[in-house]
Structure 1
Amino acid sequence: MDATAQQGHDAQTMRPARPRPLSLTEAARLTGAAAPARTVDVTGISLDSRQLRPGDLYAALPGARAHGAQFAEQAERAGAAAVLTDAEGAGLLERARVDLPVVVAPDPRRSVGTIAARVYGSRPEDGTAPVLLAVTGTNGKTTTTYFTNSLLRALGRTTGLIGTIEILAGEQAIPSRLTTPEAPHVHALLALMRERGITAASMEVSSHALEFHRVDGVRFDVAGFTNLTQDHLDLHGSMEEYFSVKARLFTPGRTGRAVVVLQDEDDVWGARMAAHARAQLGADRVDTIALRGDVAEDRDTGPDRHGADWTLTALTRRGIGHSFTLVHRDGRSLRVSTGLPGDFNVANAALAVVMVLASGVDVGQLQRALDEEDPLTTDVPGRMQLIGTEPTAVVDFAHNPDALRRALAAVEPPDGQGRVIVVFGATGERDRTKRPVMGAIAARHADVVIVTDDDPHDEEPAGIREEVAAGARAAAGARAQEVLVLAPRAVAIRAAVAMAGPGDSVLVAGRGHETVQEIRGVDHPLDDREELRAALADAQQGRREDR
């Protein structure tokens, strides 16, 4: 079973107990297609014939490797009540002689979310649906949703979460394989949360989710925007198209309110997203947060002069994290702190706070939760996760240029005496243009660069490594004294720990929480956190034996 199928398997185990039967005639109307000759009631919808339940509408869609209609016979044996497909799929069904009612739509994928919303009753307008917060952007989505989830729990809410690392419906958790699940799973999960009395939920919304209609039929209460930097250009082709896909979230049909982070005065994408959201939603339904440039210790920028609604001020170090104040243009303020390192986590924390406030929470109640519970120091698996000290050893999901630069800055030894050693690679069959860029960033911000494998997929690993290493070797103004190419990844991690002194920092970047490495269609167990933990333990044991 491939990763997408496994995600379907995991998420399909979480469905509401009481779906709302939908006639196939009504389903056809929702797609804009002609009513079928035969009609039945459907009680669910599935894109995967292997995970289909009796009574489901089987959405037989074209895929990258095969058309879903090729598996319609399997769906029929599993108890499918009907099939939704396109013209190509209809032809395949005729040849297969599947005896099920069929709805033929010009673009069936666009209708899946709408049908799922109706059959599961995921977002009724009767006040029983959870308050729903969405986070999009290149970096920071996962951490921000964990922050909002933790803050909502501190406020006494019963919470749910849908994201890259896991799906939570109250206390039940399952692993996640996609940043945003497919539309039937999203709606089933939201309906299940409502049945279980969950009052607030947070969700990551990726550009893939918007492009492939995974959140169609969902209207969020608040949507937040973190940033936009180079990533996923293999799908979108250009930064302009990447932006336009993200901007789809900030429209009246998808969200009631918006919160947009302005990274600095030169943040063109943040400013454009704020302008877009204001034009779509109305200025009074959009909050902006000015970070005012790079994070520095003991900085107090004072009131914002560029029209942002909230300004980050009084930033100071708090252990490895930071404390700061958010000041609104009307004089309101919130004191905030997070124990997670890095300027990007300051931005993530600020976004989470303003999003929760925008969802309707009283500012005084929010301040009490921030003061009493310290909710923004929650652990986020694989996101600037501290594995050891002496040397400082951190695992982070940074897998694009901007995220890698920020992660390297976050692990810089505070006294300036230690070295930074980074272990990372690049994903196969993805945007190749960022490989040398990431290599150059590593060489400019680390003393030792160790290039290794990420997830090669079906691409030759050695070629990927060399593209990254070439960028590191050619970097102008490079800080790196060594650029090494080592594989497999576990060997590279052990080499980094072996050369690290007590005052150094080791950053293992790119995979974060992931526990398998995919090579030519085969999943190999690999957890950077466990590999780093074991390497540190062995190094410590070796030092004891040498004494």
Structure 2
Amino acid sequence: MPLDQTAVARVLGVDVPPLPRPIVAVTHDSRAVVPDGAFVAINGFTSRGSDFVPQALANGATLIVAEAPIEGVPTAVVPSDRIALAALATEFAGNPSHDLTVYGITGTNGKTTSSYVLHAILTAAYGESATGLMTTAEIIVGSEHETAIRTTGEAPQVQGNLARMRDAGVTHVVLETSSHGIHLHRVDGTRYAAALFTNLTRDHLDLHGTMEDYYLVKRRLFEWTAGPKLSNADDVYGARLATEIEGTLTFGLAAEADYRISGERTEGTRTVFELHTPGHGDLTLSIPLLGDYNVHNVAGAAGLALEMGMSPQLLTSAVSEMAQVPGRFERVPAAQEFGFEVVVDYAHTDIGLRAVLDVARDVAGDHRVICVFGACGARDKDKRPKMGAAASELADEAIITTDDAYNEDPAAIADEVYAGADPRHTEVIIDRRAAIDAALGQARPGDVVVVAGKGHETVQHLPTGDVPFHDTTVVTELLTALRASSSATTD
């Protein structure tokens, strides 16, 4: 929807330079500017938005928005570039969340799995064509799937995808809402109908500074949401959230939880548990996921769905039939013929790694757990030795490798992880493919190999540049090569 000068001034709340024609689009990416488009010069962590103004003008921008005047360029000067970007993006998209039922899910761990669970429940209730999902792993619009760039895209992507869903006939959307998305105003302008909080553990302190600030950012989602809200009673921050935000219900093992979990047990490759609800009776849920953390993920999503009017019978059927979640304790089928398990998981903190290895330990029984993992560059360094300690305590063999190093030296990162590990059963193999290959080569029937850190991601960010890398694909390729090698040896 084109915006004339009066409309742009109203949205931004500031004076706007004369426009030759109405603005037809808005972006923060100078490469994506179209003729008669607006360019918002947001400042990134390592770059200044004003540096990209010449390219934006060359591509046809007729409005520049920035936090300070730009010499020689008529500029709409705003107090916050990111707030301005979100306001314009929402206006251009026609306030799409007002025509949708948007479910927001936030927390440190479990956001993506909870989002997929809730999406599966909604799909069972309303049909595939009426449901949408925006999460770390992918964006789903009805039956269309595409890879996501980040957990929560910038405002034009968020509002553009919501508008695309609305226009395609989607009515219910699950929006994984990260602390970056909230703090950097990427979800400003979104009206949430319901919200879920999974937990809060140490992560992203490079952005937030302290756990308190990290929590307060997450809490904003609940402050924005007028409808049902559920929080994890077994998490100290989740329990606190329920006392601070009126109308928040809880889920968990705690005796006082509104949606109380009990009787968790493993039945083959499934987990069964009871969910005691405040108004829907006691439900027995059987899910194709393992681990107590996944029980919490399902319980939270199920409780929120029930609060939004889902029938208990439909809910029970939906969670029973849902598919694997990409990169979340994702079992690689090609390993089955070798008699061992290979699991790919997104765990990239010490808490997340412990949770995944705990489940792997249960699956392995008396056999070994072999863990391949690394730590991100350009992130909180304090968690690196803690990850090394977690792997040493819970895995029989640990191989430290490269995750997303970004601009840091992969070997230096590995050294920091190794500092917390037990050297007696830990080795360092910097090349990630070689590390996975080494783990598979030593796996025996009954063992469980955990490849942690990148999960669903398809690109590895290295100091030398980005390279394609998808753990599940690499594992499958290496297993194919291992099969061929075994066949040749046998012949």
Common topology (TM > 0.5) = yes
- Partners of 1:151 and 1:376 within 8 A in 2: no
How far apart, in 1, do the equivalents of 2:65 and 2:320 lie? 45
Distance change >3 Å, CA 379–CA 260, structure 1 → 2: same
> 1:253-288 CA distances to partner (integer Å, 9 max, x unpaired)?
35533111223xxx311111222222xxxx2xx221
Q: Deviations over 1:94-115 (max 9, x none)?
A: 1xxx4xx531112121222222
Residue 61 of structure 2 aligns with which residue? 80
- Cα displacement (A) at 1:485: 0.8
- Partners of 2:20 and 2:62 within 8 A in 1: no
Letter in 2 for 1:275: T
Q: Which residue of 1 aligns with 2:172?
A: 200
Q: Secondary structure at 1:417's aligned position in 2? A: coil
Using the TM superposition, give the Cα deviation of residue 80 of structure 1 relative to its aligned residue in structure 2, in angstroms: 2.4
SS of residue paired to 1:256: coil
Counterpart-to-counterpart distance in 2, 1:398 and 1:502: 24
Distance change >3 Å, CA 357–CA 431, structure 1 → 2: same
Matching of residue 134 in structure 1 with residue 80 in structure 2: no
TM-score (norm 1): 0.84
Please list the CA deviations of residues 484-537 of structure 1 after superposition, one character each: whole Å capped at 9, or x if unmatched: 111211111111111111011110100111122111151122221122223333
- Aligned partner of 2:229 among 246, 255, 258: 258
Quote how far apart the aligned CAs of 1:332 are: 2.2
Partner of 2:96: 123
Q: Which residue of 1 aligns with 2:208?
A: 236
TM-score normalised by the chain length of structure 2: 0.93
Q: Bigger shift: 320-329 or 429-438?
A: 320-329
How far off its partner does 1:335 sit? 2.8
1:464 to 410, 413, 418: 413
Q: CA deviation at 1:414?
A: 4.2
Matched letter for residue 171 of structure 1: S
Judge conservation of contact 1:250–1:276 (CA < 8 Å) in 2.
Answer: no
Asked if the contact 1:349–1:376 (Cα under 8 Å) also holds between the matched residues in 2, the reply is no
The alpha carbon displacement at 1:546 in A equals 4.6
Aligned mates of 1:406, 1:427 — CA distance in 2: 18
Identity of paired residues, percent?
A: 38
Q: Which residue is equivalent to 1:377?
A: 322
| Secondary structure of 1:58 counterpart | strand
Aligned equivalents of 2:190 and 2:282: distance in 1?
32
Counterpart CA distance in 2 for 1:329 and 1:184 is 39
Match of 1:91 in 2: 70
Q: State whether residues 266 and 290 of structure 2, in contact with CA within 8 Å, keep that contact through their aligned partners in structure 1.
A: no
Distance in 2 (CA, whole Å) between partners of 1:415 and 1:72 is: 56
SS in 2 for 1:491: helix
* Comparing 203-212 and 515-524, the one that deviates more: 515-524
SS of equivalent to 2:456: coil
How far apart, in 2, do the equivalents of 1:444 and 1:202 lie?
Answer: 36
1:221-370, aligned counterparts within 5 Å? 221-251=193-223, 253-263=224-234, 267-278=235-246, 283=247, 286-292=248-254, 304=255, 306=256, 308-330=257-279, 332-361=281-310, 363-364=311-312, 367-370=313-316
Letter of the aligned partner of 2:431 in structure 1? P
Shift, 1:360, TM fit? 3.1
Q: How does 1:1-12 map to 2 (within 5 A)?
A: none
String of CA shifts for 1:340-393, please: whole Å, max 9, x gaps.
2222111111111112222333x34xx23532x555531211111101232111
* Map of 2:32 onto structure 1: 51
The residue that corresponds to 2:432 in the other structure is: 489
Change (3 A) 1:255 1:83: farther
The 2-side partners of 1:354 and 1:203 are apart by 17
Partner in structure 2 of residue 26 of structure 1: 7
Structure 2, unaligned runs of 5 or more: none
> Deviation string for 1:218-239 (max 9, x for gaps)?
1111111111111111111111
Structure 1 residues 387-423: Cα deviation after superposition (integer angstroms, max 9, x where no partner): 1232111110000111100100111154731011100
Query: Equivalent of 1:518, from 448, 457, 461?
Result: 461
Corresponding residue for residue 78 of structure 2: 105
Shift of 1:452: 0.8
Q: Distance in 2 between matches of 1:38 and 1:410?
A: 60
Instruction: Report the count of equivalent residues.
Output: 484
2:41 counterpart of 1:60: yes
2:363 and 2:448 in contact (8 A); partners too: no
Q: 1:434 Cα deviation (Å)? A: 0.1
Corresponding residue of 2:351: 402
How far apart are the structure 2 equivalents of 1:121 and 1:312? 41
Given the superposition, is the C-alpha separation of residues 331 and 146 from structure 1 closer, same or farther in structure 2, using an over 3 Å criterion? closer
Q: Report the Cα distance in structure 2 between the residues aligned to 1:403 and 1:376, rounded to whole angstroms.
A: 25
The aligned residue for residue 419 of structure 1 is 368
CA distance, structure 1, for counterparts of residue 47 and residue 41 of structure 2: 10
Q: Is the 8 A contact 1:134 1:204 kept in 2?
A: yes
Alpha carbons of structure 1 residues 413 and 324: separation in structure 2 relative to 1, 3 Å: closer
Q: Separation in 1 of the partners of 2:34 and 2:349? A: 39
Taking the aligned partners of 2:9 and 2:320, their CA distance within structure 1 comes to 46
Distance 1:255 1:402 in 2: 31
Which amino acid letter does the alignment assign opposite residue 326 of structure 2?
P
Q: Which runs of 4+ in 1 moved over 6 A?
A: none
The partner residue of 2:377 within 404, 428, 431 is 428
Q: Which residue does 2:157 correspond to in 1?
A: 185
Letter of the 2:122 counterpart: L
Q: Does structure 2 conserve the Cα–Cα contact (< 8 Å) formed by 1:131 and 1:359?
A: no
Residues 124 and 154 of structure 1: CA distance in aligned 2, closer, same or farther (over 3 Å) = closer
In structure 1, give the amino acid aligned to 2:96: R
> What is the DSSP-based 3-state SS (H/G/I as helix, E as strand, rest coil) of the residue aligned with 2:126?
coil
C-alpha distance after superposition, 1:109-143 (max 9, x if no partner): 12222222222113364xxx121111111011111
Structure 1: which 5+ residue stretches go unaligned?
Answer: 1-18, 293-303, 475-480
CA drift at 1:34:
2.9
In structure 1, distance between residues paired with 2:362 and 2:97: 51
Secondary structure at 1:449 match in 2: strand
Code of the residue aligned with 2:305 in structure 1: it is V
Supply the distance in 1 between the matched residues of 2:464 and 2:156 (Cα, whole angstroms): 26
Q: Report the equivalent of 1:114.
A: 87
Closer, same or farther in 2 for the Cα pair 1:215/1:414, shift >3 Å?
Answer: closer
- Tell me if structure 2 keeps the 8 A contact 1:122–1:188: no
Return the offset for 1:543: 4.1
CA-CA distance at 1:55 after TM superposition: 3.3
Structure 2 CA distance for aligned equivalents of residues 133 and 488 of structure 1: 39
Seen in structure 2, the aligned counterparts of structure 1 residues 112 and 482 have a Cα distance that, compared at 3 Å, is same
1:214 and 1:255, CA in 2 relative to 1: closer, same or farther beyond 3 A?
Answer: farther
